[in-house]
Amino acid sequence: MKKIGLTLLTAFVGGALALGAYKVIESKYADNMSFEEKQKVYFTSNKTAPVVSSTGSLDFTEAAAAVTPAVVHIRTSYSSKSGGSGQDQLEQMFGDMFGQRMPQRGPQQASGSGVIISTDGYIVTNNHVVDKADKITVATNDHRTFDAKVIGTDPSTDLALIKVSATNLPIVKLGNSDEVRVGEWVLAVGNPFNLNSTVTAGIVSAKGRNIGIIGSNDSEDDNPFGRTRSQQSTPKLNKAIESFIQTDAAINPGNSGGALVNTKGELVGINAAIASHTGSYEGYGFAIPVNLAKKVLNDIKKYGTVKRGFVGVSFTELNPDVAQQLGINNSNGLYVNDLVAGGGAQQAGIQKGDIIEKVEGVPVYESSDLQERVGRLQPGDKINMTVLRDGKEKNFEVTLKADAAPSTRTAAVSKSAEELFNRLGASFSPLTPAEKAKFHVSSGVKVTQVRPGRVFDNFEIPVGSVITSINKSPINNVADIDKAITNLRNGNLVISGYYPDGTNFNNMFQVQ
């Protein structure tokens, strides 16, 4: 009996050790997984009943029940100095497309929706929902509230990744927007005005819509893709990537950042805008495809910014009127107006006057046909393009180049860690061994994004700088920053590090 008992005890202890080791390894490698990989692990361990529907007997109840718990209400507040987000000018043109803003004396407030995509608190929403926010509060479907911090933003796609400190949260399953078909049923799920979720149904009206909303009030940036509307003598270009899914599912103010899902309850888009003369639903809603969002969100989590490759061309969409103006016979494709010096297109051999007809063998009719596909790729990736030159088709393999001068800069006084983090207005990634050797440091994080009007912007700490310590606490990751910024010394926050050229700095600001 003693021998049997000893054997059982040994087996039990061995099993416990193995389980413990597995959990440690699982936690370690989970941080390096993409959101889609983490979800596969989650749904493998948490199987759900299949949702079955047909055009003969539509039933959205299962899909709605699966999604609504993971769609949250987001409320933001803005100081008068922040100026709120840039939606006021757009409201005058298209109505209230971007959430609900309530003008008032003192701090301004706005609200929108968000979608939980990871059980440990990562939430996707629109950039315009959290842009320049001083404080971000998230209310879940079960009436819990959390302060949130901005992990990173991408104004080019109007996406933002924020995070709350929570675990075991419900999530929406990521779908495949490439498989979405015009005419199929979809649900728009939001959490506006803290109404504890709203669900509306409609169909997919169109795909690949470019409506010229993102970056329409930003005339500073150059767009390597080029103009997407009428040709001008002195073009004002931007880096917007628009390839919206259009739906007639009712999307109203406050639904920005909410979920567009198929009848299986899978996320296929992030609701972004409505086209309206009144500011309310008129049958035209637009969502960012989830396949584009996956790349953006994974980049933000992993690198602190979006690593985007550029073709390096400026173009005009062809139609019969434009073709007549240019004196050409083709009315389909993208007419190459100019090339970025040293860009991928120029090095591949593409010339001014070429007409881009196909990308990866797929015909190109609108700018979105090129932009969304390129927007999913990284610098260094290759893409095959077919152009028409002198009446003959030519094929080129273009190697995408990184932006020559990254200038992505957007979002977040009290003393909560989340508000302080947002007030810093920066995103970070861990230093590589090579970067540590370059700056001769043993700890540190690299600044990957600086958002205007925040502390890093005011102190002129640029992208590429290294933060080694905050309040004399070594910094190696975002979690270290969270701990350090709550360790205030007489209300002061001291940030130390190195500029990209190796010059060291010590900056101090006072928390009011």
Residues with catalytic function? 128, 158, 256
Per the CB < 8 A criterion, the answer to whether 159 and 293 are in contact is yes
Question: For residue 110, what are the β-bridge partners?
Answer: 76, 101
Phi-psi label, residue 196: left if phi above 0, alpha if psi -120 to 50, beta otherwise: left
- If you write DSSP's letter for every residue of 28-53 in order, what string do you get? HHHTTS-HHHHHHHHHHHS--PPP--
Of 116, 99, 127, 131, nearest to 164 by C-alpha is: 116
CA 249 to chain centroid: 23
- If you write DSSP's letter for every residue of 315-366 in order, what string do you get? EEE--HHHHHHHT-S--SSEEEEEE-TT-HHHHHT--TT-EEEEETTEE--S
CA distance 69 to 168: 12
Per the CB < 8 A criterion, the answer to whether 138 and 145 are in contact is yes
Show the tokens assigned to 313: 């061309």
Of 237, 260, 256, 267, nearest to 127 by C-alpha is: 256
Show the tokens assigned to 160: 């933002």
Per the CB < 8 A criterion, the answer to whether 186 and 200 are in contact is no
CA distance 495 to 467: 7
Show the tokens assigned to 320: 């019969």
Q: How many CB atoms lie within 10 A of CB 397?
A: 11
Show the tokens assigned to 309: 């490759």
Alpha-carbon torsion, ordered 366, 369, 374, 377, to 10 deg: 160
CA distance 278 to 94: 8
- If you write DSSP's letter for every residue of 423-437 in order, what string do you get? HH-EEEEEPPHHHHH
3-state secondary structure 84-140: CCCCHHHHHHHCCCCCEEECCCCCEEEEEEEEECCCCCEEEEEHHHHCCCCEEEEEC
